[in-house]
């Protein structure tokens, strides 16, 4: 096997969810691409090194200071769906059902991996909640709902419980996605219908 080939497989196999066999398949497929396409692809990958801008409010990917979701006036400002990763946000957007805002935590609490609450964007979530309350003091308040859509696995559960605890003093309504998502799974791999139902039946 050529060294170039092996190196390429090694890199693709570093991606979460990609095993050595899949990595090999990807590299074989890439070898079939025209040279210009591969050049463009490597440019895109190289561009990632400069970092991608994140929305200042929800930490979604964004070219501007606010992402497309946050800057859309038609989105329901009284709902914040808390997810672990940008890919989870993508899965929920794909269902087309949810019309509120998001908050990307940047992971889940996982003491074994050294991921503690302070490594997540929890402070930022709290200040969004506080801001909502401040801007909503003039009577006809729309109640804020924070939907905890962390993964249905141990780390996700721990994170949701922690957030419920920390949001309790704010008297903000929190909800969780309905059970039915098989436990131990990841939101990003859940199919749209199941995810839609989990949203509709949240409590
Ligand atoms: Zn945003």
* CA distances to 28, 129, 143 from 90, in Å: 28, 23, 25
For ligand 1, the distance from its centroid to the CA atom of residue 172, given in whole angstroms, is 20
Rounded average pLDDT over 121-145:
83
**What whole-number distance in Å separates Cα of residue 180 and Cα of residue 94?**
19
The pLDDT of residue 166: 94
Residues 2-19: tens digit of each pLDDT = 999 999 999 999 998 899
The pLDDT of residue 70: 96
Domains of the chain, earliest start first: 3-50 (1.10.8.420), 76-200 (3.40.1360.10)
For ligand 1, the distance from its centroid to the CA atom of residue 51, given in whole angstroms, is 17
For ligand 1, the distance from its centroid to the CA atom of residue 137, given in whole angstroms, is 23
For ligand 1, the distance from its centroid to the CA atom of residue 56, given in whole angstroms, is 7
For ligand 1, the distance from its centroid to the CA atom of residue 135, given in whole angstroms, is 18
Q: Which residues pair with 80 in a beta bridge?
A: 101, 146
The pLDDT of residue 139: 55
Q: Which residues contact 167 (CB under 8 A, 6 or more apart)?
A: 126, 129, 146, 174
Rounded average pLDDT over 163-169:
94
**What whole-number distance in Å separates Cα of residue 166 and Cα of residue 40?**
46
For ligand 1, the distance from its centroid to the CA atom of residue 111, given in whole angstroms, is 28
Q: Which residues pair with 101 in a beta bridge?
A: 80
| Mean pLDDT over each residue of the chain, to the nearest integer | 89
The pLDDT of residue 141: 61
* End-to-end alpha carbon distance in the chain: 54
203 pLDDT above the threshold of 90: no
For ligand 1, the distance from its centroid to the CA atom of residue 90, given in whole angstroms, is 12
């Amino acid at each position: 096997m050529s060294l170039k080939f092996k190196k390429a497989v090694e890199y693709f196999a570093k991606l979460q969810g990609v095993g050595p066999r899949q990595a090999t398949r990807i590299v074989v497929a890439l070898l079939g691409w025209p040279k210009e396409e591969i050049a463009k692809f490597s440019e895109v990958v190289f561009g990632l090194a400069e970092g991608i801008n994140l929305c200042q409010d929800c930490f979604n990917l964004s070219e501007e200071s606010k992402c497309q979701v946050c800057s859309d006036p038609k989105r329901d400002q009284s709902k914040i769906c808390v997810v672990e990763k940008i890919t989870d946000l993508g899965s929920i957007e794909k269902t087309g059902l949810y019309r509120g805002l998001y908050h990307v935590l940047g992971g889940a609490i996982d003491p074994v991996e050294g991921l503690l609450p302070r490594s997540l964007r929890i402070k930022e979530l709290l200040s969004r909640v506080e801001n909502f309350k401040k801007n909503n003091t003039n009577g006809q308040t729309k109640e804020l709902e924070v939907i905890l859509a962390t993964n249905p696995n141990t780390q996700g559960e721990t994170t949701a419980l922690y957030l419920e605890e920390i949001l309790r003093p704010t008297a903000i309504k929190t909800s969780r996605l309905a059970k039915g998502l098989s436990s131990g799974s990841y939101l990003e791999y859940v199919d749209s219908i199941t995810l839609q139902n989990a949203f509709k039946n949240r409590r």
